[in-house]
Chain A
Amino acid sequence: MALNYTKKTLNHFLKPKNIGEIKNADAYAEIGNMVCGDQLNFSIKVEKGKIKDVKFLSFGCASNIATASIMTEKVKGMSLEEAKNYDWNKIVSDLGGLPQQKVHCSIMAVQGLKKVIDSYEDKKGNKEDHKGKAKKKVVKKKK
């Protein structure tokens, strides 16, 4: 069955952008698994509510790699809110189209991105909660 990947998809597969893992990243997330044939690991660095850096590792097919590559390229510098709602259709159109049975790759990429942002926000939220509790304690002490 011919896949007829676009030139753009092949370029992103052969020379993917943002591969690797950020050292001391603010958050990590993993999506998919080896059994279903696709796995993406994301790591992000956040600064002032924006994605300063994002990298990925892939156990996946050409389109899995290409979709993660082009998405990470596009969301760098975006606000977390904007990135969290990144539309997978955008990935497909940016690549000039994907074979129908490969469209799920773009969905997995945005889900992975959302997961890593959620993980970041959870961590941050916990920290804030922690800070909040600490403050309360301080207040108590003052009493």
Chain B
Amino acid sequence: MQVYLDNAATTKMDKVVADIMQTYFIDKYANPSSIHQKGEEVYNDVEKAKDKVAKILNAKAQDLIFTGSASEANNFIIKGVVRANKDKGNHIIVSEIEHPCVLGPAKELVKEGFKVTYAPVDKKGRIKMSELKDMISEDTVLVSIMTANNEIGTIQNIKKIAKLVKKSGAYFHTDAVQAVPYLELDVKDLGVDFLTLSAHKFHGPKGVGMAYIDRSVKINPLISGGEQNYSLRAGTLDVAGIVGFSKALELAYKNREKKIEKIRELRDYFLEQVKKNIKDVHLNGHEKFRLENNLNLRFNGIEGEAILMDLFNQGICVSTGSACSAKNLRTSYVLQALKINSDYLNSNVRFSLSKNTTKAELDYTVKKLKETVARLRSFSPIK
């Protein structure tokens, strides 16, 4: 049996999305920037696709900038806003558990003379509000805090954080890449100035990110030299990608409640079965404020990478934040931010479900996981 439980890394594209995208490779291949009839036809399709996305986000179509990835969108927003608003100050705040594509640009900005402060999280990965409040100063230009964490699935109270940040006069960005379809993404209701999405996290194509930006805020482009995307992101529009993004997002939010209810039930069933069958298992992250598709579990006494490789051998795909799986051999900075005992940092496995996950797959996984954990524990020196 093949089981894919790594949906936080990426998801399988929906057939409908793939089919729609096909149209734009061979048939409707014109450049939407061309003013002839073929170009206009494609242009109109792009506009329609953007309108659909805008509707879901409760935004205007001209507030949406499509990029080559969420990493690009985050780089664009963070560098673009901070560099364009030097007159407002030179300080930015990001949480310690942001994705590397937020931490990276923040670090780069330090070299340019900006100050970066890292907002801490509690043991379950929630932002410490009072500490965040104390960090914000007159000099703070931008605060960037992710909606939900990719490793531990902890969800932040974005509305509350946005309110706090906006009150100070700083801009607020949230990387919402993991949030689809688990949270409503009404940018007005959330009160955010900037928001990032990535199509491949919700059964859309890889290589398509999106930056929602409040166009009244000054922002510098990352890629210049073309009038596409209102001169904020040069480059011929990825028509198939934008249409695919739009269709995937539309499908994700269709029957959303029902879909996430099913995923939550399966996830909770899985956790219950794991706990019933395996001793010394601990949940990382928050029990309540957690993405419905995420489980990050610690199996005491054994290594996450070994569990992963053993499961992989049985056709099950999962993920681990253990040092051994990383190229730099460093343990997950997200788990470290939770201040869990350092002895436990290498024993964690992430299981991330999707709408395609079935009960049979989870039953199979529990069975194999039980065998794997028993086998590895049988020769572990840690008792």
The answer, among B313, B329, B378, B381, for a CB contact under 8 Å with A14, is B313
Of the listed stretches B129-137, B154-162, B302-310, chain A binds: B302-310
Per the bound structure, the CA–CA distance linking A55 and B137 in Å amounts to 59
Q: Report the minimum CB–CB distance from B345 to chain A (whole Å).
A: 7
Contacting pair B324 A41 (CB below 8 A): no
- For A1, A19, A41, A59, the residue with the greatest tally of chain B CB atoms inside 10 Å of its CB is A59
CA distance A20 to B303 in the complex (A): 17
Contact status B381-A13, CB under 8 Å: no
Partner of A5, one of B309, B322, B331, B343: B309
Among A10, A60, A102, A104, the residue within 8 A (CB) of B303 is A60
A37 near B381 with CB under 8 A, answer: no
B306/A10 in contact, CB under 8 A: no
Main secondary structure of the interface of B (DSSP, over half): loop
Q: Which residues of B contact A58 (CB under 8 A)?
A: 379-381
Given contacts A34-B382, A35-B345, A37-B303, contact A61 B309 (CB under 8 A): yes
Q: Residue-by-residue, is A78-98 near B (CB-CB < 8 Å gives 1, otherwise 0)?
A: 000000000000000000000
A106: interface (CB < 8 Å): no
- Residue ID in chain B nearest A10 by CB atoms: B313
A40 to B322, alpha carbons, bound, how many Å?
17
User: Do the beta carbons of A59 and B380 come within 8 Å of each other?
Assistant: yes
Task: For the complex formed, measure the closest distance between the CB of B31 and the CB atoms of chain A, giving whole angstroms.
Answer: 36
> Hey, which chain B residues are within 8 Å of A41, CB to CB?
381
- Give the contacting residue for B302; candidates A10, A59, A102; CB below 8 A: A59
Find the A residue at minimum CB distance from B310.
Answer: A14
Determine whether A62 belongs to the interface, using a CB cutoff of 8 Å to chain B: yes
Complex contact B310–A35 (CB within 8 A): no
Contact (A57, B331) CB under 8 Å given A36-B323, A37-B323: no
Q: Are B324 and A61 in contact (CB under 8 A)?
A: yes
Question: Does chain A have a CB within 8 A of B150?
Answer: no
Give the chain A neighbours of B365 by CB distance below 8 A. Answer: none
CB-CB under 8 A for A62 and B306, given A14-B313, A36-B323, A37-B324:
yes
What's the least CB distance linking B320 to chain A, in Å? 9
Interface residues in B243-302 (C-beta closer than 8 Å to A): 301-302
Q: Is A67 on the interface with B (CB-CB < 8 A)?
A: no
Chain B residues in 8 Å Cβ range of A65 = 306
Per-position 1/0 for B311-327, Cβ under 8 A of A: 00100000000111111
For the complex formed, measure the closest distance between the CB of A87 and the CB atoms of chain B, giving whole angstroms: 22
Residues in B neighbouring A104, C-beta threshold 8 A: 329
Given the complex of chains A and B, what is the CA–CA distance between A38 and B379 in angstroms? 13
Q: Is B346 an interface residue (CB 8 A)?
A: yes
- Complex Cα spacing A58 to B327, Å: 21
B379 touches A34 (CB 8 A): no
Chain B residues whose CB sits within 8 angstroms of the CB of A101 once the complex forms: 326-329
26 residue pairs A–B, Cβ–Cβ below 8 Å: A1-B325, A14-B310, A14-B313, A16-B379, A19-B378, A20-B379, A34-B342, A34-B346, A35-B343, A37-B305, A37-B323, A37-B324, A37-B329, A37-B345, A38-B303, A39-B381, A59-B302, A60-B303, A61-B309, A61-B325, A62-B309, A64-B303, A64-B324, A101-B326, A101-B327, A101-B329
Shortest 8 CB-CB contacts between residues of A and residues of B: A61-B324, A61-B305, A57-B381, A62-B309, A19-B379, A37-B346, A37-B323, A41-B381
